[in-house]
Chains A and B, each alone.
Chain A
Amino acid sequence: MTVNDDILRVEAVSVHFSGRRGVRIKAVDEVSFAVKRGSTFGLVGESGCGKSTTGSAVLMLQRPNAGKVIFDGVDLGTLGDRALRSMRRRIQMVYQDAAASLNPRLSVGDIISEALTIHGLYRGASRGGRIRRLMDMVGLPSRLANRYPNELSGGQAQRVAISRALAVEPELIVCDEPVSALDVSIQAQIVNLLQDLQRDLGLTYIFVSHDLSIVRHISDKIAVMYLGKIVELAEKEQLYRRPMHPYTRALLSAVPVPDPHLERKRERIILSGDLPDPANPPSGCRFTSRCPLAVPSCGESEPAFSAAEAGHWVRCPITSPSTREAAELVGHAARSLQ
């Protein structure tokens, strides 16, 4: 892979928030990853892990306190507001709560039109046709152009949000839990739509989600986050077939599979306790307080992020499960034994 293949590089980005009594919360702590053009990069983890904040930092909606976001060779942190705004034509965002992200006073057609106006695209007579074409691309019948967001179903609202994002012909779309609020059947429609659009338009996605099943389905490469840190990063098959970090393994083992026999056979790693207070994370490895494999030295220093195999990065020095042991977590071995 040459460097030019990467449309986006996130280098040691940190985002800090001030909590109560001036406590600094490191919501994102030195996160680094690269996203290949035309691919889908999954950012996965539980609430408070920093995945959404990382997504906002990519668009500079949340300016990082440290680190660099380099999009197509340009360091976005060095851009002024004006330059950044024109750069945002190339990077768009789609949110979980589509209805709330749409202006309730504008009709569907006007919502899409507004995006074109902001970036000075398709002025005049070509505008109407462009709007119809965009609606068609996301499977919205043109009769919905005069409807308002409150008249739309959740799936339709998400399609409008996607068509608005597509209006400005972006190269990268950050999708933050885009299907989490939708019913399973509608979820599948939107996932399929995102995949079709990627294939047809050569889009790159950053797909932020807590849902490990959907992330596996849609992503090429995945980073697992815990309390502001990436704990594991690998190609999809590596990560799901050979999860290395104890947190990734617990996470994968906790996801139910719609297959009763498999469910009866699976060994679950049940983590004890809750997520620690992000304002006061454990010292050393942040997962120590819940880690079933923790030894005293884990609390002493932050483990390095090192390659366990080519392209597979893990922030844990003590884990090296056998391939079979790891595979059993998601039921692979249970199946191959049959």
Chain B
Amino acid sequence: MSLLRVLNLQTHFDTEQGVVRAVDGVTFDVAEGEILGLVGESGSGKSVTALSIMRLVQGRIRADEITFDGMDLLRLDEAAVREIRGAKIGMIFQDPMRSLNPVLTIGRQLTEVLRRHQKMDGAAARRRAVELLDMVGLAMPEKRLSAYPHQLSGGMRQRVMIAIALSCHPKLLIADEATTALDVTIQAQIVELVKQLARDLGTAVIWISHDLGLVAGMCDRVNVMYAGRIVETGSVDELFYRPSHGYTLGLIGSSPRVDGEGGDRLVSIEGMPPDMIEPITLCPFLPRCRVTVADCQRTMPPSRHLGGGHYASCVADLTSHWSGDRA
């Protein structure tokens, strides 16, 4: 039973240059308690996908279906969607400074959410706020309630954002590059925290990231996005050990590894992503792909089922490129 189902999502923006098809036919589900990774480069549509579900973008959003926890999100009015945001779906973004109100204390921002969505009175909200800050590993939580965002470090602010996002026991947490701006030792703390929450509270997570290493370590399944589409989806193992789309293969080859595996030279992806205004009729990755076959020039590749939950929109046979599962 999936918690979130998205069927053929299209988000288009009208610009002076033409219509930008930022998300162009995206379909996926998220199961309860699952951590789903969304990877791809800037402009691939991963953030717009998440924001569209929450109706937080100013574009034309269309879909055949968006259901969340049994509710048809496409038919809800703005007020009802607002209730879901924050209460049932929590979000954390890359830059907590932009999400937190700079002139309100941490305590005020946390208790406001609790009073609004959980109908708590002031004292109860305050007690719960302290509990939440403690849960996300902030030292001296009582003292932090009276702090303003600028008085906290980046890692502390991101913990506060997570506390706010979790304050109403959301069923789904959407994290958009949530650790990208943080130092690696702080990132490790936040990642452990999110994994633990998914395990202990059964919160489902959509983890949006450009960092393949992070995704390998924390996600159950991954959607790889390119040019507004999901070009490959599968379990982390399927994706990393049996990549079946030229772009996934390229991403893995481009990523240097701290364990030194992968050789002296990175296998870069040449060129740049498409501009998303020109209509796409063939595989959008074709101009940059290094494993093309004759069929690539004919039609848009269909999504191929490769066993289990593994699908890829690629006609080339990539098995000779698999480094294999080392374990």
Contact = CB atoms under 8 A, between A and B. Distances in A.
A223 B12 CA distance: 47
Given A185-B41, A274-B155, A275-B153, A332 B192 contact: no
Contacts of A251: 184-185
A19 to B, nearest CB: 16
Contacts of B240: 258-260
A240 B252 contact: no
Contacts of A275: 153, 183
A254 interface: yes
A263 B237 CA distance: 11
B41 A274 contact: no
A171 B83 CA distance: 60
Interface string A263-306: 11110101111110000000000000000000000000000000
A189 B256 CA distance: 12
B73 interface: no
B280 interface: no
A192 interface: yes
A189 B254 CA distance: 8
Given A184-B255, A273-B139, A274-B153, A259 B265 contact: no
Contacts of A263: 213, 216-217
A64 interface: no
Contacts of B210: 183-184
B325 A261 contact: yes
B186 interface: yes
A258 B188 CA distance: 15
A287 to B, nearest CB: 11
A257 B258 contact: yes
Nearest to B40: A183
A270 B193 CA distance: 11
Interface in A221-255: 240, 250-255
Nearest to B288: A185
A261 B237 contact: yes
A338 B255 contact: no
A332 B217 contact: no
B211 interface: yes
B268 A257 contact: no
Nearest to B193: A270
Given A155-B272, A184-B255, A262-B259, A192 B265 contact: yes
Contacts, number: 149
Interface residues of A, number: 50
Contacts of A63: none
Interface string B245-287: 0000011111111111100011111101000000000000000
A258 B252 contact: yes
Contacts of B270: 189
A335 interface: yes
A251 B216 CA distance: 18
A47 interface: yes
A23 interface: no
Interface string B114-158: 000000000000000000000000010000000000000111100
A258 B265 contact: no
Contacts of B260: 216, 240, 330
B41 A260 contact: no
A195 to B, nearest CB: 7
B35 to A, nearest CB: 12
B1 interface: no
A317 interface: no
Given A210-B184, A261-B237, A270-B188, A216 B156 contact: no
B296 interface: no
B99 interface: no
B188 A254 contact: yes
A73 interface: no
Contact of A189 (B189, B261, B268): B268
B187 interface: yes
Contacts of B183: 46-47, 210, 275
Contacts of B267: 188
A79 interface: no
B218 to A, nearest CB: 8
A257 B257 contact: yes
B188 A268 contact: yes
Nearest to B268: A188
A265 B326 CA distance: 12
B42 interface: yes
B106 interface: no
Nearest to B241: A260
A213 B240 CA distance: 18
Given A47-B183, A188-B269, A274-B156, A252 B41 contact: no
Interface in B195-215: 210-215
A231 to B, nearest CB: 13
Contacts of B211: 184, 256
A227 to B, nearest CB: 12
Nearest to B43: A183
A212 B184 contact: yes
B16 to A, nearest CB: 15
A261 B327 CA distance: 6
Contacts of A192: 265-266, 268
Given A47-B183, A257-B213, A262 B326 contact: yes
26 contacts: A47-B154, A155-B272, A184-B210, A184-B254, A188-B266, A188-B268, A189-B270, A192-B265, A212-B184, A213-B258, A217-B266, A251-B184, A254-B188, A255-B258, A256-B214, A257-B213, A257-B257, A257-B258, A258-B213, A258-B215, A259-B240, A260-B237, A266-B217, A274-B155, A275-B153, A330-B260
Interface of A: 46-47, 153, 155, 183-189, 191-192, 195, 210, 212-214, 216-217, 240, 250-266, 268, 270-275, 330-332, 335, 338
Given A185-B254, A254-B184, A270-B189, 6 more contacts: A184-B212, A216-B258, A216-B260, A257-B216, A268-B188, A271-B188
